[in-house]
Amino acid sequence: MIFLRLISIAALLILLHFCLGLNLQAQMFSVQDEKKENRVFSSSVHIGYSDVSFEYIGDSPAITGDQSLEMSPSLLHIQYNSPGVRIHLIGGNTIIGNENESLVRLGVELGAQSYLIRKNRLQFLIPFRVETAITAATKEGYGQRFYQTAFSGGFGGIIAMKPTDFFSIYTEATKWYGFSNSAGNFFGGNTDQFKTKTTIHFNRLLRGRGVYFSYETLQQDFNIDGMDFDYRSVVSLFSIGIDIQ
């Protein structure tokens, strides 16, 4: 039920963003003499597959193996990107073949960036971002449920290279810090994350639309008051995306 509920929330957020009609146009690179008839896209949708390791990092010797929420599920991923806004849903349960475990992460990320180097073929940027994310995990036969809402801020670096007008590659890494709480509580503990992403972009590959191939990693540690919910989530994710608007 949590999985289906979060899918609905993600769909509503994406629909709301479309309805707001944010008339923002952004490209990592711009060509001064671009022909007027070339359409500029400002948003994209990505789908993918991920492997996840969810492990206990607390100090309680009683929480281990089957008597914990430790799991290594295979998850599906959908993501919507537009200028300054990113909405993603990572999740999976028995519907996609996981036998007795379920893990879901729904995140909304807002951000901006500043340029240190801004040339036609090479750019170096410093991103500044904030994110709110819900992470939920359940396991059949284990009584406790993990449900945390985290708010984090992060910054890092992006290197973007464009060898040709048709092909470009971006690599980024960001470090995040924030706080996390369980349902109904304002304070709960702290969380830190480290994210990396490498994207290869083929411009106007499919009927004038760009196509993206990405590999991402996300490590997030939860340090919650007490020891029962000190977990580490490590996600390795492959995705394919396409320009949509």
pLDDT at 143: 82
Q: Dump pLDDT digits (tens) for 130-189.
A: 999 999 998 888 888 899 999 999 999 999 999 998 999 999 999 999 999 886 565 678
Handedness of CA 130, 214, 21, 113 (dihedral sign): positive
* Residue 14's pLDDT band (cuts 50, 70, 90): low
CATH of domain 2-24+45-243: 2.40.128.100
Segments making up each domain of the chain, as ranges: 2-24+45-243
Q: Is the pLDDT of residue 62 over 60?
A: yes
pTM over 0.75: yes
